[in-house]
Amino acid sequence: MTALPTPRGKLTENRFLNDLTWLRVGGPADYLFQPADVRDLQDFLHVLPAEIPVFPMGVGSNLIVRDGGLRAVVIRLGRGFNGISVEGNTVTAGAAALDAHVARKAADAGVDLTFLRTIPGSIGGAVRMNAGCYGSYTADALRKATAVTRQGEVLDLTPDDLNFRYRQSDLPEGAVLISATLEGPSGEAEELHARMEAQLKKRDETQPTKDRSAGSTFRNPAGFSSTGRDDDTHDLKAWKVIDDAGMRGATKGGAQMSPKHSNFLINTGDATAADLEGLGEEVRKKVYETSGITLEWEIMRVGDPLIE
């Protein structure tokens, strides 16, 4: 294997990723790099041989990493990338800051970013996935994002550069987001905190929040994705077509379509990535057979299957 540069942060060879994903599955990455700070990340990427792929990872709440792992340097940001500061209605957060922390700090300062409170990812993942709920999206609040490119340059990105779409945005290949600047409307701190408590309660009532999942497995069928646009409606949900196909509660190995919310794929204990992805594919097939609808994955699946 090509020799890699020696960073100040932590570089681990052949590092299993299962404990770094919400679903608790995933084989080894060739390398896991946890940079000490922005300079360390820049220096590392600048000298990393161009043929070695880079995969930036947040807290793994929207990922199935396949059992054979990832032939890449996985970059995971931690301390040194999780600061949060508020100035007026503008909140600047490091990419490793958790969405929930950002929402709470913003609320303390009377800024409404409450939509982030119940999303279990990091700000880097929120920008990349245009995360959102309850009718608000990262795209609505984002003013600027900053990334380190694959060549090690610091690059500011506007919302136009990011080309936000439903659960998607564009980033230059291999670029690692390091921070984001968001703006929210003013609100009264106590009221904002109360709203977030209500959202958490609603989640607990309707979703398997105590299980290992990666959130919604499939997008709501095209045209029904709650984007808030006029040409979009909300009356056809992925969970409904999964129910109609009789797949609520369906299992494969340790994987199950949650009996509580049928669009949540869960690891009941000993699922492999192959169980989870395989069950998802069975659901897609059944839904197509019963309703003619092709469900699209919302969970990202990355890496190689295990070859026995």
Ligand X SMILES: Cc1cc2nc3c(=O)[nH]c(=O)nc-3n(C[C@H](O)[C@H](O)[C@H](O)COP(=O)(O)OP(=O)(O)OC[C@H]3O[C@@H](n4cnc5c(N)ncnc54)[C@H](O)[C@@H]3O)c2cc1C
Q: For residue 59, state whether it binds ligand X (rule: CB under 6 A).
A: yes
* Active-site residue flag, 183: no
Angle in degrees, CA 182, 186, 192, rounded to 5: 95
> Residue 110: what residue type?
G
Q: Which range in 121-129, 244-252, 272-280, 286-294 contacts ligand X by CB under 6 A? A: 121-129
* Active-site residue flag, 226: no
- H or E element: which one contains 197? helix 189-206
Of 63, 65, 109, 293, the residue at the interface with ligand X (CB under 6 A) is 63
Q: Which of 122, 216, 258, 262 is the catalytic position? A: 216
Of 110, 124, 184, 303, the residue at the interface with ligand X (CB under 6 A) is 124
Q: How far is the CB of 99 from ligand X (least distance, A)?
A: 7
Q: Is the Cβ–Cβ distance between 241 and 257 less than 8 Å?
A: no
Distance (Å, whole) CA 178 – CA 123:
9
How many residues lie near ligand X (CB under 6 A)? 32
Query: Can you list the positions of beta strands (E) in the chain?
Result: 10-16, 28-34, 54-57, 63-65, 70-76, 84-87, 90-94, 132-133, 136-137, 142-148, 154-157, 176-183, 212-216, 251-252, 255-257, 264-267, 300-302
Nearer to ligand X, 26 or 110 (CB): 26
* Active-site residue flag, 298: yes
Distance (Å, whole) CA 38 – CA 148:
8
Q: For residue 192, state whether it binds ligand X (rule: CB under 6 A).
A: no
Distance (Å, whole) CA 132 – CA 117:
10
Per CB under 6 A, which of residues 29..58 are in contact with ligand X? 55-58
Q: For residue 94, state whether it binds ligand X (rule: CB under 6 A).
A: no
Catalytically annotated residues:
167, 216, 298
Sites of contact with ligand X (CB under 6 A): 22, 55-63, 77, 95, 119-122, 124-126, 128-129, 131-133, 171, 176-177, 209, 213-215, 300
